[in-house]
């Protein structure tokens, strides 16, 4: 009787481990990992947050911002491309090396020229990106 109980416990433990492993795998595949990107508009600066990095960009350092449709992002130098967003240091012919923090779900982006550096950001949709751009223009005019 002890052997049968021991075998059942082992099978149950193996089944539990397999279910947990499968659940974690599906979560990572469909949720794109646990880290996300975020834009924080503070009183004197924009904070850009993406996995393992936080950039603080003072409004006073911004020379120009522009709204762009269907950008060609180029190639990733350091960073990543998740299911719903792309981030890190990228490079293309238009901007050279630049910092990017965009959602893959938006066909538009905001290009920020801060003198020595270029930053490319977006919201999670074309509408959200447009709203962020308009808010950003208001902040910079103030």
pLDDT tens for the 142 residues of the chain, in order: 566 776 676 666 555 645 554 454 444 444 444 457 888 989 899 999 988 889 999 999 999 999 999 999 999 999 988 888 999 999 999 999 999 999 999 999 999 999 999 999 999 999 999 999 999 999 888 8
Same domain, 43 and 27: no
Residues 55-73 have pLDDT tens digits of 999 999 999 999 999 999 9
The total number of structural domains in the chain stands at: 2
Region of 88 on the Ramachandran plot (φ > 0 left; ψ -120 to 50 alpha; else beta): left
Residue with tokens 């050279």: 96
Containing domain of residue 11, as a range?
Answer: 1-31
pTM here?
0.74
Same domain, 98 and 48: yes
- Kindly give, in sequence order, each residue whose CB lies less than 8 Å from that of residue 80, ignoring residues fewer than 6 positions away: 51, 86, 87, 88
Contact 48, 121 (CB under 8 A): yes
Same domain, 6 and 57: no
Contact 52, 41 (CB under 8 A): no
Please give the Cα distance from 55 to 46 (Å, whole number). Answer: 8
Same domain, 52 and 103: yes
Same domain, 111 and 133: yes
pLDDT of 34 reads 44
Output the six-digit token pair for 136.
């950003």
Please give the Cα distance from 46 to 21 (Å, whole number). Answer: 39
Please give the Cα distance from 97 to 134 (Å, whole number). Answer: 26
Same domain, 12 and 73: no
Same domain, 47 and 92: yes
Same domain, 76 and 27: no
Residues 102-115 have pLDDT tens digits of 999 999 999 999 99
Same domain, 26 and 77: no
Same domain, 12 and 61: no
CATH code for the domain in which residue 55 is found: 2.30.29
Same domain, 45 and 105: yes
Same domain, 60 and 97: yes
């Amino acid at each position: 009787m002890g052997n049968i109980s021991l075998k059942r416990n082992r099978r149950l433990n193996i089944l539990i481990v397999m279910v947990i492993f499968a659940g974690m795998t599906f979560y990572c595949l469909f949720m794109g990992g646990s880290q996300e990107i975020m834009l924080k508009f503070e009183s004197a600066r924009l904070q850009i947050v993406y996995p393992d990095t936080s950039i603080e960009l003072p409004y006073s350092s911004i020379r120009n911002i522009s709204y762009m449709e269907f950008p060609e992002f180029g190639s990733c130098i350091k960073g990543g491309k998740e299911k719903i967003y792309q981030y890190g240091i990228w490079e293309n012919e238009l901007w050279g090396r630049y910092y990017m923090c965009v959602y893959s779900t938006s066909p538009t982006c905001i290009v920020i020229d801060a003198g020595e550096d270029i930053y490319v950001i977006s919201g999670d949709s074309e509408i959200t990106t447009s709203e962020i751009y308009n808010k950003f223009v208001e902040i910079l005019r103030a």
